[in-house]
Amino acid sequence: MSESHYVEDKNIHNERTGGDFRFHATSSAIEQLLDTLNRQSPINLEFITRPLNKAFNSRVYSLETIYAKSRIFRLLVRKGVNPILLFVSLTAGMAGGLRRFYKQSTQLALNLLGVVYPAWKCWQLVKEQSDQQQQPLDGVNREREYKSWLTYWMIYGTFQVLDNWTYDILSIFPNYNVYKLAILYWLQSPHSKGAFLLCHQVIQKPSYPDSSACSSSSPTPTASYSIPSTPESNHADDDDNDDPLTLTIEPPKSSANSTPSILDGYTPTLQPRTPPSIIATNTITTEKQDQPYSLLEAEAAW
């Protein structure tokens, strides 16, 4: 549970209980203790106190909210019983009963922990989906809830398969059931949101841009060379400009159906060497046309 959600839930519950802060005296005392520690400490301790307040005190507040729903708890608090002492007594008694139940029937306790709360949350999602009158969640939160609980049930099913070799696993890892209990609680807890973190940080792979699309979208580099004009070419045509020639070399465009060749489709060919004076001229025009020889001229030449 984030800090903003914790404060918001606290304000909502205070409105429902008529603003009686005695029902949350334990969490308020812990907040005051951490605040006093921050103020009186010679160094900054918020890097320790802030995570403690977020992780520990939010769970204490959640337990107090559950206890405050009981009429007996509210009656005892209003009769003058110390709420901190009452909270500690109820929590210690509940913890002792759960520990005894876990020792007597470990598998039943693990199955109850792994099924009851997740099944109830999934039932709420199904009911909310089918109920048209209730205002639905936005698409992003709904998708996160679905992915989180699907991830949880995947891991829970994996543990159920591993339970077929419980005796072999316990011989290697004697505290296997304790680890399983802690992992299941971490995955389904609304405070830690382990299933959500596991889904988005480990299982779900981020989308990477396509390398072929990036390479195709990049422009093809071209090379340009400037060839200065020679004095001979300037005397050949005085009316032409004296600007140097620019030779641009572009690689051939490869098509999908073309067969790849050397240098991505470019095949070099041998060409006769051209004199520099001809390369340097701006315009080269040949007015000489091929004319057919007559039969008499051909015989005379022969």
Query: Mapped to the 3 state alphabet, what secondary structure does the chain carry?
Result: CCHHHHHHHHHHHHHHCCCCHHHHHHHHHHHHHHHHHHHHCCCCCHHHHHHHHHHHHHHHHHHHHHHHCCHHHHHHHHCCCCHHHHHHHHHHHHHHHHHHHHHHCHHHHHHHHHHHHHHHHHHHHHHHHHCCCCCCCCHHHHHHHHHHHHHHHHHHHHHHHHHHHHHHHHHHCCCHHHHHHHHHHHHHCCCCCHHHHHHHHHHCCCCCCCHHHHHHHCCCCCEEEEECCCHHHHHHCCCCCCCCEEEEECCCCCCCCCCCCHHHHCCCCCCCCCCHHHHHCCCCCCCCCCCCCCHHHHHHHC
Looking at residue 53, what is its pLDDT? 85
pLDDT digits (tens, 9 = 90+) for 16-45: 444 568 889 999 999 999 999 999 989 988
Average pLDDT across the chain, whole number = 74
pLDDT digits (tens, 9 = 90+) for 89-126: 999 999 999 999 999 999 899 999 999 999 999 998 88
